[in-house]
Structure 1
Amino acid sequence: MTLIKPELKLLTMKSHLIITSAIILMTTLIACQKQEKVETVDLMNLKLNEKFESIIDFNDSIYIGVETLEYPFCLLAEIDNSTKYTFDGLDLKKQTVYFQINSELLKTDSITKSGGGHMDFITLKKKEQLAPLFKKYKADNYLYGFRIEMKTSEFKNEILKKLENKYGKGTKNPNTDNGLYWNFKKEGKYIFYAPDYSRLTILKNTKLSKTCYWDTYNGWIDFGGCNNENYFKELLINSTKPENIQNKPVLTIHNDWSINDITIGKSNETDFTKSKTSKNFERNIVIQGSNGDISELTYDNDYNNFYFFFDITKKSNENPKYNIVNAYSVADFKSVEISFENGLKPFSTKEEIVKKWDKSQIENYDDLKFSNYIEIKNAVLKIQLMFDNKNKFSSMYVVKK
């Protein structure tokens, strides 16, 4: 049997204690770092003037850019499945959170006139991406609002309870069945609860109209003294006037919803570039991942508010024969010369357009009284005919299902 001298035993015990203490200290430091990383932000408590970079975690899945159908007049950041956010204690991990940033370019750029499906997003991974992005869009570096996508009826009810407990009963939104809104003049804050469209929107109105508000899911709201026409003109003050647009493209929408000589699901990139329709378009791609694959391919004509989207899921984007037209958007009929073989007339009212179909042929017939679009039922295509603030048929979006 080996005997251990008392002094060696004491040294061994001291070494063990030192190692154990070091392990505990490292564990504590790591735990603190992890805790710091997932520190939550309660969106209800935001002042809505926080710097954007201070309220996000770059490890989250973040997309930032333009989506004119739902968010026509701001820079938008979309964050999915984040553990960072709560709303008065409600966990938002299973909800999508959107932050809104003021952009003077988007408020005055002609692509935002009618909404209509223009998308331009990038993946946000590091702080260094923000400065050039804000410069590009003439945007603030701080947020002025946020939206929460309320994905279940239970969550909608929980949100409503939180709102009413803190702010009291809201005002009925006349544009939706169950929508409510709050206008806090002293605080300079708007709250729009739109359960019919699964959206909660809270905004600081410092740079917004104090008399009018509009978005796709809440419609036009008059806070008192609203002049819709003047409101819209202010938002688009620097955009090119329709009467000044030169050489408008001539478009024919055929009975099968193909456009000129381009057919969704059949025409490829080579067909498109060789067609007369492709004049004045710019090819745009989004590259993601270390392998340099193209994740998005579009052809954009911003001057005429006209866009084509391509399916590149076959990963053969170096060969244009395999890039198939997946969708098109004509985002402002005033920027083009457009006609329809099925007899539709641009700038007809919603009521006039609805009469063209039986109600069984309209996907969203039950929602038409507060919806700004009509979706036509089709086996292979999603067809949305959209209406402007004067209820005129002014834009359209067609995509393969």
Structure 2
Amino acid sequence: MGKLLILLAILSFMMSCNDQEKTDLSNLNLIEPIENVIAFNDKLLIGIETVEYPFCLLLQVEKSEKYSYEGIDLKGQKIIFQINTERLKTDSISRFGGAHIDLSPIKNEKELKNSLRNFDAENKIYGVRIEMKNPDLKSDILNKIESKYGKGIKNPNTDNGLYWNVKKENKLIFFAPDYDRLIVLNNSNLSKSCYWDTFNGLIDFGGCDNENYTQELVKNATKPKDVKDKPILKIDKNWNANSLIIGTSTEKDLVKSVINKNFDRMEEINGSTGYTDQIIYQNNYHDVYFYLSANKIKPENKKENIIKGYAINNFKKVEISFKNGLKAGMKFQDVIKLLDKKLIIDYENLKYANYIEIKNGLYKVTLNFDGKMLFSGMFVK
């Protein structure tokens, strides 16, 4: 009996220690150095994720057991830290393709520093996005927030969203249950009158000048009026560009195409295997990109690398036409009228979106819309 009691005491102590090791995200000032809030033995991914938020670098932690929020265990929930980088203050929601995910794994301090250097990013966080995948977790978190800060302000852009502007802590808190997210930001260097992301829409804290706010978010974008020698792009009814067939046309076909001007060829290398994951032909000046699968053994063999998608990210920087009746600059609702509703992904939730996703065989077409909800870019992959 005595041995049993000792064993139970030891187990209790170990469990207590594990609880104490958790990082309570509600206690962060959101100015912490990145290495203070992550553990390299967790699965870490860093990069661009325009579904979440297009104007910063994201560091995603998957299936970690080290986090809580107001004492609520977040085991199994995705945690995403936001990192400021001036380089991504551009038209990145379209530049990198709407609903585009380009995250790379990092396993140690060296790989983290290399990633931050590549994006010219800060070495500290300024926000955290917490996944809330089940109703009980959402309810528990909301109760904790309301007991601490009171009732939230209704987000006019979503059915159930709430937000708190906690000025004494320099924090913005966005409860977005429709998208399974709690978002907490240090707003010391953010706009005091406006906020926008794809899960919350545009929120006016008072005196918001949307046009100036948007211009600040994309201040490093190339101005379309200054663009010269615009490439001519013709999109057929199957969403192929300039007769380059997705899934069939090769890198050699792309090289021979009349569109192939001012493109740089880039290979993305998998750090774990050493193989080339994909090849990208990028024309940053005109914001046009082609993505190709790579021959693992001989990526230099242009006959074996197949086009798997493309992005045309700002229609004002190109001359573009569509065989299906679409036109650059069309209104969101007018675009919907031209499309087959059966092919639109998540059609019922379009009222929350600033992009439209379309099923097309083995790949997906994403149509992007600007702040005025005008058809402004597209991504096929």
TM bucket, shorter chain: 0.7 to 0.9
Which entry has the higher C-alpha Rg, 1 or 2?
1
Deviations 1:119-167 (A, max 9, x none): 5543222213344443443322110001122233343333323322332
Q: What code does the residue aligned with 2:111 have?
A: Q
Alpha-carbon distance in 2 for matches of 1:325, 1:284: 14
Q: CA deviation at 1:290?
A: 5.0
Of 38-47 and 178-187, more deviation after overlay is shown by 38-47
Considering only aligned residues, what root-mean-square deviation do their CA atoms show, in Å?
2.7
Structure 2 residues not aligned, in runs of 5+ = 1-9
Alpha-carbon distance in 2 for matches of 1:298, 1:113: 16
Deviations 1:59-85 (A, max 9, x none): 222121223343211111111112222
Deviations 1:249-285 (A, max 9, x none): 2111100111112111112222223322232222223
1:261, 1:277 within 8 Å by CA — same for their partners in 2?
Answer: no
Task: Give the corresponding residue for 1:59.
Answer: 41
Alpha-carbon distance in 2 for matches of 1:313, 1:204: 44
Is 1:212 the counterpart of 2:194 in the alignment?
A: yes
Alpha-carbon distance in 2 for matches of 1:365, 1:280: 37
Alpha-carbon distance in 2 for matches of 1:60, 1:323: 34
Query: What is the correspondence of 1:97-116 to structure 2 with a 5 Å cutoff?
Result: 97-107=79-89, 109-111=90-92, 116=97
Alpha-carbon distance in 2 for matches of 1:318, 1:196: 45
Give the SS at the match of 2:244. coil
Alpha-carbon distance in 2 for matches of 1:166, 1:319: 61
Percent identical residues: 50
Task: Give the corresponding residue for 2:329.
Answer: 347
Query: What is the correspondence of 1:13-32 to structure 2 with a 5 Å cutoff?
Result: none
Q: What code does the residue aligned with 2:126 have?
A: Y
Task: Give the corresponding residue for 1:6.
Answer: none
Alpha-carbon distance in 2 for matches of 1:246, 1:370: 35
1:329, 1:396 within 8 Å by CA — same for their partners in 2?
Answer: yes
Q: CA deviation at 1:168?
A: 2.3
Distance 1:292 1:244, change over 3 A: same
Task: Give the corresponding residue for 1:177.
Answer: 159
1:70, 1:115 within 8 Å by CA — same for their partners in 2?
Answer: no
Alpha-carbon distance in 2 for matches of 1:143, 1:135: 15
Give the SS at the match of 2:316. helix
Distance 1:114 1:132, change over 3 A: closer
Structure 1 residues not aligned, in runs of 5+ = 1-27
Alpha-carbon distance in 2 for matches of 1:318, 1:363: 36
Q: What code does the residue aligned with 1:389 have?
A: G
Alpha-carbon distance in 1 for matches of 2:174, 2:242: 41
Number of aligned positions between the proteins:
367
Give the SS at the match of 1:76. strand
Q: What code does the residue aligned with 1:348 have?
A: M
Is 1:307 the counterpart of 2:289 in the alignment?
A: yes
Q: CA deviation at 1:318?
A: 5.1
Q: TM-score, normalised by structure 2?
A: 0.87
Task: Give the corresponding residue for 2:4.
Answer: none
Query: What is the correspondence of 1:86-97 to structure 2 with a 5 Å cutoff?
Result: 86-97=68-79
2:354, 2:373 within 8 Å by CA — same for their partners in 1?
Answer: yes
Q: What code does the residue aligned with 2:79 have?
A: V
Alpha-carbon distance in 1 for matches of 2:279, 2:64: 28
Task: Give the corresponding residue for 2:221.
Answer: 239
Q: CA deviation at 1:358?
A: 4.8
Alpha-carbon distance in 2 for matches of 1:378, 1:395: 17
Of 357-366 and 42-51, more deviation after overlay is shown by 357-366
Alpha-carbon distance in 2 for matches of 1:326, 1:161: 46
Q: CA deviation at 1:326?
A: 1.9
Of 256-265 and 158-167, more deviation after overlay is shown by 158-167
Is 1:165 the counterpart of 2:138 in the alignment?
A: no
Alpha-carbon distance in 2 for matches of 1:132, 1:114: 22
Q: What code does the residue aligned with 2:377 have?
A: S
One of 98, 104, 129 as aligned partner of 1:147? 129
Q: CA deviation at 1:364?
A: 2.7
One of 342, 355, 366 as aligned partner of 1:373? 355
Q: CA deviation at 1:310?
A: 2.5
Alpha-carbon distance in 1 for matches of 2:305, 2:131: 32
Alpha-carbon distance in 1 for matches of 2:365, 2:216: 30
Give the SS at the match of 1:276. coil
Q: What code does the residue aligned with 2:291 have?
A: F
1:179, 1:192 within 8 Å by CA — same for their partners in 2?
Answer: yes
Task: Give the corresponding residue for 1:201.
Answer: 183
Alpha-carbon distance in 2 for matches of 1:373, 1:112: 10
Task: Give the corresponding residue for 1:3.
Answer: none
Alpha-carbon distance in 1 for matches of 2:58, 2:272: 25
2:126, 2:185 within 8 Å by CA — same for their partners in 1?
Answer: yes
Alpha-carbon distance in 1 for matches of 2:142, 2:25: 15
Give the SS at the match of 1:44. helix
Give the SS at the match of 1:196. helix
Deviations 1:283-320 (A, max 9, x none): 22332345412234322222222222233487664544
Q: What code does the residue aligned with 2:283 have?
A: N
Alpha-carbon distance in 1 for matches of 2:92, 2:294: 25
Distance 1:128 1:229, change over 3 A: same
Q: TM-score, normalised by structure 1?
A: 0.83
1:69, 1:116 within 8 Å by CA — same for their partners in 2?
Answer: no
Task: Give the corresponding residue for 2:251.
Answer: 269
One of 211, 219, 236 as aligned partner of 1:254? 236
Give the SS at the match of 2:259. helix
Task: Give the corresponding residue for 1:128.
Answer: 110
